[in-house]
Structure 1
Amino acid sequence: MRRTPLLATVTALVLGAVLAQPAAQRAAAAPAVFVHPGVTVSQSQLDFARGKVNAGAQPWKGAFDRMMASRYADQNHTPKPRAVVECGSYSNPNNGCTDEREDAIAAYTNALAWYITRDERYARKAIQLMDAWSAVIRDHTNSNAPLQTGWAGSSWPKAAEIIKHTYGGGWASSGRFATMLRDVYLPEIINGSNSNGNWELAMMEAAVGISVFLEDRASYDKAMAKFRTRTAAYVYLTSDGALPKTVPSQNLDTRDKIVKYWQGQSTFVNGLTQETCRDFTHTGYGIASIAHVAETSRIQGQDLYGTDVGERLRHALGFQATYEQGAAVPSWLCGGSLHLGLGPVTEVGYNALHNRLGFAMTNTQALTERTRPAGTDNLFVAWETLTHGDNPA
């Protein structure tokens, strides 16, 4: 599918108009009225997926079956909340880290199962999981606390949005859950991170999602501004110039510092990410968060896919997909050796950029279709063939 000349012209005009806006105007991203459910997946997208599953259509039925066969949909799953979740580097120590992430994914899984089946058991299970944690947790500690908070905090509001705004059976403790997000999660993530780029992208994904659930316009705007800056510093475009953009607070003010931060990579091409030469798994985390925030922003009325965010996402997907599928690695790229394993992260961006905007994305399409139905990374990405696969809503 080729991008039409008219669509290319319209997209260019939109991009030019957005970039021409004063910085203060661009920073005001929150909608006048928040859309619910509106974190990564909208009600119209859920309705599309539900219709396809109920009709037995593929790949949605297969994606749903995979979700329902997973441990996250198990009705015997018992939540394991902790007052303090302690996560060191690479989750060592792991005091509640895996439990928290997986309970949050389970809540989202059950919320999706509720919406598609209308079986109230799944809504009640999602509520049980959210209530268990909101009654107990008060802090995240150790070196990975910001990242852990970002990962779990990305899944919780997706579950909460579906339950609060589509389940009529009542959720008595939704206010306590909101307080948990506001007092325990948001302060840990809203000011960002100067670590590897996937950290801040995940943190801003969580902050944006939490802000939607809380209808917190100031936090939404702050998180979105940090997201825009970090995305520009995470994915390189040739239009950036000889060197990648940087996050000002990191003081990467020389070529040597930038090259070191980019894992020793000194040749920059469209779609290369700050972590490509680290490994594709961490790169996939960053790509997933970029897509998730762009999708949430679109649902809330500001379509970032027509800006540099979409352009960076498109090139990042295509570049990584090329090598994930086995293309020979040139000697100038990461010393001629890559650590693959991108993960189930292509559906949201591919659907928005290829299906909606009409960009030809041959390598991304091939990888997406080959790996369907997408499952979960067991951290914060889950069931995106079901929710976003070829979804026109």
Structure 2
Amino acid sequence: MSLPRKLLALATLVPLALSLFSAPTQAAPATFTHPGVLVSRPQLDFVRAKVQAGAQPWKQAYDAMMSSSYASLSRSPKPRAIVECGSYSNPNIGCTDERQDAIAAYSLSLAWYITRDAKYATKAIEIMDAWSAVLKDHTNSNAPLQSAWSASSWPRAAEIIKHTYTGWPNSGRFGTMLRNVYLPEVINGSHSNGNWELSMTEAAIGIAVFLDDKTVYDKAVAKFRTRVPAYLYLTSDGALPKTAPGSGLDTRDKIVKYWQGQTTFVNGLSQETCRDFTHTGYGLAAIANFAETTRIQGQDLYPEIADRLREGLGFHAKYQMGAAVPSWLCGGSLKLGLGPITEVGYNHLHTRLGHTMSNTEALTLRQRPAGTNNLFVAWQTLTHAGNPQ
């Protein structure tokens, strides 16, 4: 994205009346909760106690994280001024390095909180400072999605370090990077496949919390409320799936094409089910992660999306576990690979609310300890398995 486009995008962050979508009411909390992106202090304390007690599955999940390259104290960050990412990361000029350094910062931040060993916080800060010192822009066709993935992980790490560790002089510079480099890429969303916009809204809400920015928070929530119903179908929607405002999907043929040619719609079907489960997993993860962050901030969006998320997780878990694919579904053939994405949604809907989710439960237990998809999902068994906080 060129500099003029970035300035134009920044201009849209002024009053919500200028937004493409406006929330019914202001959503932002009067005071933000910190740390408060995906994990809160009570959640982290729960995890720390479980790991210290050697309780499972948390200890196994912790050991998996600590044995990964992401938690290595010898890791050398690889920042670039310009990260160029084309479709499917081709070309890949800094794309993998950026995403993985962001996950590493988050992993090291979790290691710091659980162990209280300052060397992990110091390494996380080293990685975040390295990028905030040089990063200026993202370019090529995947720039918005690359920004979304990286900026979903960065605020999780930054929140933990800034609010539980003493001694991060460059935290303000890091916040400036989030605002000036990442936010313009993600705040206005996308009418590409739904996982793009859902990841973009997750990044935006995390940035909003770190920056204590109520305007950005409200805009992210407004977009989330329109995108989730356009991504996961419920029979109560009617004969056709809902569409996001401004999508241009104003005929049945256009909607069917957008839904990868699928013409039979059932509870839990995703806009990308017939594309592949991997991208569907990205969308499901971003939905749960977003709702988890807003819950921590005192605004529980789960009730608005609970049925869709529960049905979506269960529907895809069923086929990921090996159920026969009916001929009406994606022509009788599915591309599986849902990924380690179920823990956050399953924890809230099952552990906290008590919903029976047999398919999701079976897949979640089979995948433990959930690792990382090397994009923006990481260590959810550690942070969210059976976590009531």
Match of 1:346?
342
Matched, 1:335 2:321: no
Which residue, 118, 129, 141 being the options, matches 2:116? 118
Q: What are the Cα deviations for residues 147-187 of structure 1, in whole angstroms up to 9, with x where unaligned?
A: 0000000000000000000012x100000000000100101
SS for the counterpart of 1:338 is coil
Which residue, 104, 107, 132 being the options, matches 1:106? 104
Which residue, 359, 366, 377 being the options, matches 1:381? 377
The 5 A counterparts of 1:1-393 are 26-168=24-166, 170-307=167-304, 309-393=305-389
RMSD over aligned CA atoms reads 0.9
Moved over 4 A (4+): none
SS for the counterpart of 1:392 is coil
Q: Pick closer, same or farther for the CA change 1:25–1:274 going to 2, 3 Å.
A: closer
SS for the counterpart of 2:138 is strand
CA contact (8 A) 2:23 2:222 kept: no
- Alpha-carbon shift at residue 315 of structure 1 (Å): 0.6
Write the distance in 1 (CA, Å) between the matches of 2:60 and 2:24. Answer: 41
- Alpha-carbon shift at residue 304 of structure 1 (Å): 1.3
Stretch deviating more after TM superposition (297-306 or 149-158): 297-306
Q: Write the letter of the residue equivalent to 1:221.
A: D
User: How many residue pairs align between the two structures?
Assistant: 369
**TM norm structure 2:** 0.94
Write the distance in 1 (CA, Å) between the matches of 2:263 and 2:360. Answer: 25
Write the distance in 2 (CA, Å) between the matches of 1:331 and 1:357. Answer: 34
- Alpha-carbon shift at residue 24 of structure 1 (Å): 6.3
- Alpha-carbon shift at residue 41 of structure 1 (Å): 0.6
- Alpha-carbon shift at residue 248 of structure 1 (Å): 2.2
Q: Write the letter of the residue equivalent to 1:100.
A: E
SS for the counterpart of 2:24 is helix
Unaligned runs of 5+ in 2: 1-20
SS for the counterpart of 2:256 is helix
**TM norm structure 1:** 0.93
Write the distance in 2 (CA, Å) between the matches of 1:283 and 1:109. Answer: 24
Percentage of identical aligned residues? 73
Q: What are the Cα deviations for residues 55-105 of structure 1, in whole angstroms up to 9, with x where unaligned?
A: 000000000000000010111110000000000000000000000000000
Unaligned runs of 5+ in 1: 1-22
Q: What are the Cα deviations for residues 159-216 of structure 1, in whole angstroms up to 9, with x where unaligned?
A: 0000000012x10000000000010010111000010000000011000000000000
SS for the counterpart of 1:85 is strand
